[in-house]
């Protein structure tokens, strides 16, 4: 138990500066990026999921907040295609947390996991819209 506690403390000690730096950066950039979301999405069914996935990847938050943000984006006229990609990548990609993830799970794993989820966000957004059009 003592060894486990020491290892846990050491991990927290190592991670804390990275987490604080990431949170400071995100708290600064988050409001700036949110102002431009409705301007960036063009309504193009090819570009919107890509832009949505990119915006979601660099954003950070808990899944519940992504649903609220997605609802606000829909109200602002952003396409469902872009919002779907945005929400999926917001909750699964996490570029801001990449340094922390790489430090604890390995650089290769972190990059591959994020890349797969980025592509999946785009594909799932397209498939969601296609499914809704069929029904």
Dist CA 126 CA 128 (whole Å): 5
Instruction: Enumerate the H helices of 41-135 as residue ranges.
Output: 47-58, 63-75, 80-92, 98-105, 107-134
Q: What average pLDDT does this structure show over 26-36?
A: 70
Q: Which residue has the higher pLDDT, 58 or 77?
A: 58
pLDDT tens digits, 61-86: 677 777 877 887 887 778 899 999 99
Rounded mean pLDDT of 53-61?
83
The tens digit of pLDDT for each residue in 115-126 reads 999 999 999 999
């Amino acid at each position: 138990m003592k060894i486990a506690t020491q290892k846990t403390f050491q991990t927290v000690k190592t991670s804390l500066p990275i987490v604080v730096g990431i949170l400071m950066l995100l708290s600064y950039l988050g409001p700036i990026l949110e102002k431009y979301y409705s301007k960036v999405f063009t309504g193009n069914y090819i570009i919107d999921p890509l832009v949505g996935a990119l915006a979601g990847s660099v954003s950070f938050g808990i899944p519940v907040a992504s649903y609220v943000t997605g609802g606000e984006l829909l109200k602002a006229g952003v396409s469902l295609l872009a919002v779907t990609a945005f929400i999926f990548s917001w909750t699964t990609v996490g570029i801001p947390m990449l340094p922390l993830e790489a430090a604890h799970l390995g650089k290769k794993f972190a990059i591959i996991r994020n890349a797969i989820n980025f592509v999946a966000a785009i594909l799932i957004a397209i498939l969601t819209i296609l499914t809704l059009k069929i029904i």
